[in-house]
Amino acid sequence: MDIHEYQAKEILSGFGVEVPPGALAYSPEQAAYRARELGGEKWVVKAQVHTGGRGKAGGVKLCGSDSEIFDACEDMFGRKLVTHQTGPEGKGVYRVYVEAGVQIEREIYLGLVLDRSSQRVMIVASAEGGMEIEEISAERPDSIVRATVEPAVGLREFQAREIAFALGLMPSLVQQMVRTLQGCYRAFTELDATMVEINPLVVTGDGRILALDAKMSFDDNALFRRPQISELRDKSQEDPRESRAADRGLSYVGLDGNIGCIVNGAGLAMATMDTIMLSGGAPANFLDIGGGASPERVAKAFRLVLSDAKVQAVLVNIFAGINRCDWVAEGVVQALRELQVDIPVVVRLAGTNVEEGQKILAQSGLPVIRASNLMEAAQRVVGAWKNDVAQATEVRAAQ
Ligand code: GDP
Ligand code: MN
């Protein structure tokens, strides 16, 4: 789960990371009022959307007066901010963060990520802040400092000092940098984060280290034990299809094609999508029903996949180990009886209780297309979908 910049800043500041004074606003009037409360002569108005690259997309504006704050806000509110990370549909701006302007001396990049190969939290830093990390690694790869943290002892001062020196910070700033690094590391581990990114972390004209931007992501599987984090969720920033599935305890990924996929397990989902592509189709989504899915859960998954208007055919591909094919078949039958389904549905079942499952499908009298292996299933669903599309085109041409 991602959170907003202002939320990440509030969290990190609780762990000793210094941030500029700022306040949240839901309207241009409120933003101007907040700026007056903050005082000073320069403010930065920042669109709160779950994406990076806001600066280049017009989502970060430096303002010197009330009227400039108004103009900046009117440009942002209610608009979809399109950045290189959001895709063409963009993300809606409903909140802005107003911050006291800061005089920047140096910009540093700081990120904490989970490094799977070393199974450690890795600190990634660069003296070339301001640019995105992808650009830094393409243009100035030798400027990147990496350090993995031994979890049994945490981030010790000596290691943090080494990073500070590697970034070429003046000795007078090293202690502040150590505090910043240790604060980020503690926030990461104590809150089950998967990513902390401060870009830029700046050195100010008056010799302070401040986080000018902040991003945090959290492990969805740990949210149950972090209520203070899960309440920061902002559904306006999520794909509505994915939010709806998450609310029902299903894991759903929205894509751009036309074939809905109901599978169990992420690996099987990948293989299913690849095989659909190989057969000339494109997946609209995949929904992972997980292990031990009851007929009700399967039916729920079906309803969810069908609620996506892009879906023009459905492939159910289940390899039942913990799951039971008969339950999956019952769920499919339940959903098809209940819903008006006029698109092709292909079902491939394998594993536990497969004969019972096949029997339930055959005896239901429903127009389910069955397949005995993945390649056949993919070819049938793509074939049936193409057929449907061709028929619809013919009908339209005849009218
Ligand atoms: P992002 O584009 O989504 O990563 O948003 P950032 O919060 O990183 O803002 C983009 C850029 O705006 C930063 O890299 C800074 O150069 C600039 N910026 C942000 N806050 C301030 C500020 O208080 N003063 C000045 N002068 N520049 C700022
Ligand atoms: Mn940034």
Domain of 46: which CATH number? Answer: 3.30.1490.20
Q: Is the CB of 58 under 6 A from ligand 1?
A: no
pLDDT of residue 27: 95
Number of independent structural domains in the chain: 3
**Which one of 6, 109, 185, 252 is the catalytic residue?**
109
Nearest-atom number in ligand 1 for the CA of 51 is 3
Nearest bound ligand to CA 204? 1
CB contact at 8 A, 287 and 251: yes
How many angstroms does the Cα of residue 177 sit away from the middle of ligand 2? 18
Instruction: Let me know whether 134 and 56 are in one domain.
Output: no
Cβ atoms 297, 373 nearer than 8 A: no
Q: What letter does residue 53 receive in the DSSP assignment?
A: -
125-164 pLDDT per residue, tens: 999 988 888 899 999 999 999 999 999 999 999 999 999 9
Q: How far is CA 231 from CA 7, 104, 214, 384, in A?
A: 11, 33, 18, 44
Residue nearest to atom 10 of ligand 1 (CA): 55
For residue 396, is it within any domain?
no
Instruction: Report the 10 Å Cβ neighbour count for 20.
Output: 19
| CATH number (domain holding residue 267) | 3.40.50.261
Residue 133 and residue 14 in one domain: yes
pLDDT at residue 293, as a whole number: 79
Nearest-CA residue for ligand 1 atom 20 is: 212
The domain that holds 212 is classified in CATH as: 3.30.470.20
Spatial CB neighbours of 135, under 8 Å, sequence gap ≥ 6: none
Residue 212 CA, ligand 2 centroid: distance in Å: 8
Residues 230 and 276 in one domain: no
Q: Are residues 12 and 145 in the same domain?
A: yes
Position 248 scores a pLDDT of: 77
Q: Considering the domain boundaries, does residue 371 fall inside one?
A: yes
Point out the residues of the chain with pLDDT beneath 70: none
**Which residues are known binding-site members for ATP?**
46, 53-55, 99, 102, 107
Looking at the fold, whether 300 and 375 belong to one and the same domain comes out as yes
**Within this chain, do residues 234 and 244 fall inside the same structural domain, yes or no?**
no
CA atoms of 31 and 81, how far apart (whole Å): 18
At 119, list the tokens: 């199974």
Residue 397 lies in a domain: no
Residue 219 sits in the same domain as residue 230: yes
Domain range for 192: 1-19+103-238
Whether 359 and 225 share a structural domain: no
CA distance linking residue 252 with residue 307, whole number of Å: 13
State the residue for tokens 């000339």: 280
Catalytic (active site) residue 97:
no
Domain boundary among 176, 211, 238: 238
Same-domain pairing of 139 and 225: yes
Handedness of CA 80, 83, 85, 89 (dihedral sign): positive
Beta-carbon-side half-sphere exposure of residue 225 (alpha carbons within 13 Å):
7
**What's the pTM value of the predicted model, to 2 decimals?**
0.79
Q: Is the omega angle on the peptide bond into residue 21 within 30 degrees of 0, that is, cis?
A: no
Q: Which of left, alpha, beta for 322 (phi over 0: left; psi -120 to 50: alpha)?
A: alpha
Closest C-alpha to ligand 1, atom 14: 130
Domain boundary among 101, 126, 147: 101
Which residues does 357 contact at the CB level (< 8 Å), separation at least 6?
A: 320, 324, 325, 326, 328, 329, 349
Q: Are 305 and 158 within one domain?
A: no
Catalytic residue check, 29: no
Q: Which of 197, 220, 238 is the last residue before a domain boundary?
A: 238
User: In the prediction, which pLDDT does 77 show?
Assistant: 95
- Could you say which DSSP state residue 382 is in? H
pLDDT at 222: 95
Nearest ligand atom owner, CA of 40:
1
Which entry of 6, 128, 185, 197 is annotated as an active-site residue?
197
